[in-house]
Amino acid sequence: MAKVTPSKSGKKPASKKDSAIKPIKDFIGSRSLPAPVDRLEDVRRRARRFRDKFLSGPQVVYYKSFDLVRVPYPTKYALLNAFSLPTPFLHIINRLFIIQYKTSDGIRTLLFSPSDVDANAETPFFKRLSQSFGPFQNLGRKIMAPTLNTVEECLKQVGLPPEQVDYISFDHLHTQDLRKWLGANGQPGYFPNAKLLVMKEEWNSIQGLLPPQSDWYCPNGSGGISMDRVVLLDADTDLGGGVALIKTPGHTYGNHSLVANTPEGIFVTSENGVSADNYNPLKSRIPGVRKYAKNTGMEVILNGNTLEIGLDQYISMVLEKEIAGPSLRDPEFFNVMPSSEMSGFWLFPGTSPTFSFGQLEFGNLIVK
């Protein structure tokens, strides 16, 4: 079982339901070498070995992604230093992932990146952006940040009862308000049986943010949540049945990536990058990206709104693409499916990705 951290009350926020969770040891010590280039190549070698092993294991029972909301996001962050046009924003589509997998304790259901779209709008950066429309805020939001689905609607589409959700998780907690899902201050949550899977470093960060971080976190988004609903992870974690959470620090200290073995290969999901172009910029047709990669030797382009630990983010993105491997849909790009994926929009010229995944579905949902 993966190590969990006790809450202040001394109780461990884990239960018998978590008995299938186990630590992954493949990357222990992989970032301990003194030279950055040696750390990078050690991670690359380990990622390739891990990929081979993970591919030989079980596949998930069900995997489906849903579009939740389109959000304007500064190009200077999404394509750090690489974009050559003056277009200030691009669109990213925030997505929900429903994943089912087999464990020794039975079928488990994970929701990855279940964003509470309305509550998340209180994130300071996006709230200021909305207020910049003045009296036309509502119209501006409909055009610039339209809601496409809610989490509740997505579950209804596939017939999944909220009671059947065992876990929720996010690659990091930027913009996330967790209270609706887990309950807070004595109020019940929408998912009565679900626990949050989160890296200890990410949970610790939100207990005391610095200004460069706080602009991107929803105020009090975890306030009043019982630690009985939280599983703090210390390490890379095998959830069972073709699903893992791998530590990929960089975008935030506690960033992790979802790794899922599907009929279309391994998909890796985080927001270290916002497009397939970020993971293979030499093949990009986005203005400026290929030239920037050639001139600098950059193997990946960081999503850099906070840059908590930039060198680690670079190494993490290489780890992600090496675990994912080439996409069957376009082998020039990798099977890294961003949790918020860049999408073309007529108001933002030059910001269409060279390749995108769209919405994916594999397998058949099991409803108990």
* pLDDT score at 139: 58
**Pick from 68, 59, 67, 104: which is nearest to 244 by CA?**
59
Task: Kindly report the three-state secondary structure assignment for every residue of the chain.
Answer: CCCCCCCCCCCCCCCHHHHHCEECCCCCCCCCCCCHHHHHHHHHHHHHHHHHHHHCCCCCCEEEEEEEEEEEEEHHHHCCCCCCCCCCEEEEEEEEEEEEEEECCEEEEEEECCCCHHHHCCCHHHHHHHHCCHHHHHHHHHHHCCECCCHHHHHHHHCCCHHHCCEEECCCCCCCCCHHHHCECCECCCCCCCEEEEEHHHHHHCCCCCHHHHCCCCCCCCCCCCHHHEEEECCCEEEECCEEEEECCCCCCCCEEEEEEECCEEEEECCCCCCHHHHCHHHCCCCCHHHHHHHHCCCCCCCCCCCCCHHHHHHHHHHHHHHHCECCCCCCCECECCCEEEECECCECCCCCCCCCCCCEEECCCCC
Residue-range domain boundaries for the chain: 24-346
Residue 201 clears pLDDT 70, i.e. is over it: yes
The pLDDT value recorded for residue 132 is 82
Q: 356 near 276, Cβ under 8 Å?
A: yes
Place of tokens 């949902």: 365
pLDDT digits (tens, 9 = 90+) for 341-368: 999 999 999 999 999 999 999 999 999 8
How far, in Å, are 281, 282, 289, 301, 306 from residue 296 at the CA level? 11, 11, 11, 11, 21
| Per-residue model confidence (pLDDT) at position 140 | 64
Written as six digits, the tokens of 199 are 């890296």
**Under CATH, which number does the domain 24-346 receive?**
3.60.15.10
Query: Cα(116)–Cα(190) distance, rounded to whole angstroms?
Result: 11
Please give the single-letter amino acid code of residue 193: N
pLDDT tens track for 213-255: 999 999 999 999 999 999 999 999 999 999 999 999 999 999 9
Q: How far is 115 from 173, CA to CA, in rounded Å? A: 10
Quick check: 138 pLDDT over 80? no
pLDDT of amino acid 130: 85
Note the pLDDT of residue 69.
95
The pLDDT value recorded for residue 19 is: 77
pLDDT digits (tens, 9 = 90+) for 35-89: 999 999 999 999 999 999 999 999 999 999 999 999 999 999 999 999 999 999 9
pLDDT confidence of 17, banded at 50, 70, 90?
low
pLDDT in the model for residue 16: 45
pLDDT at 137 over 90: no
For residue 5, pLDDT over 90 is answered with no
Instruction: Give tens-digit pLDDT for 259-317.
Output: 999 999 999 999 999 999 999 999 999 999 999 999 999 999 999 999 899 999 999 99
- How confident is the model at residue 8, as a pLDDT? 37
